[in-house]
Structure 1
Amino acid sequence: MQVASLPYLDEHTTVIEAESADVWRGLAETLDRAFSGRGWGGYARLVGCADRTASGPRPPAEGSTFPGWRVAAAVPGRELVLQGSHRFSSYALIFRLEHVAPGRSRLRAESRAVFPGPSGTVYRTLVIGTRGHVVGMRRLLSAVRRRSE
Structure 2
Amino acid sequence: MDATEIPALPFVDEHTTLIKADTDAVWQELAALMDGSRGFKVAVSIPGQELAYVGRHPFSTYALIFHLNETPQGGTRLRAETRAAFPGRKGAVYRGLVIGTGAHALVVRHMLRKVRNNAAQGRGELRDKPPPPR
Matching of residue 86 in structure 1 with residue 89 in structure 2: no
Q: 1:111-136 deviations in whole A, cap 9, x for unaligned?
A: 00000001001100000110001111
- Name segments (4+ residues, structure 1) moved above 6 Å: none
Aligned length: 117
Measure, in 1, the Cα distance between the counterparts of 2:60 and 2:8.
13
Residue identity matched to 2:85: V
Find the aligned partners of 1:18 and 1:102 in 2 and give their Cα distance: 10
Write out per-residue CA displacement over residues 60-102 of structure 1, whole angstroms, 9 at most, x where no aligned residue. xxxxxx3101100100010001000001000001100000024
Partner of 2:44: 73
Partners of 1:87 and 1:15 in 2: CA distance? 35
CA distance in 2, matches of 1:102, 1:29: 25
Number of the residue aligned with 1:61: none
| Structure 2 counterpart of 1:30 | 33
Partner of 1:139: 110
Identity level (%): 49
| Matched residue, 1:8 | 11
1:21 aligned partner? 24
Question: Please, what is the CA RMSD of the aligned residues?
Answer: 1.0
- Could you list the runs of 5+ residues in structure 1 that have no partner in the other structure? 33-53, 55-65
For 1:123, which of 84, 94, 99 is the aligned residue?
94
Per the normalisation by structure 2, the TM-score is: 0.84
- CA drift of 1:147 comes to 1.1
Secondary structure of the structure 1 residue equivalent to 2:90 = helix
Secondary structure at 2:114's aligned position in 1?
Answer: helix
Q: CA deviation at 1:103?
A: 3.0
The residue aligned with 2:69 is 98
CA–CA distance in structure 2, aligned partners of residues 76 and 102 of structure 1: 20
**Counterpart-to-counterpart distance in 1, 2:24 and 2:63:** 23
Alignment TM-score, normalising by the size of structure 1: 0.76
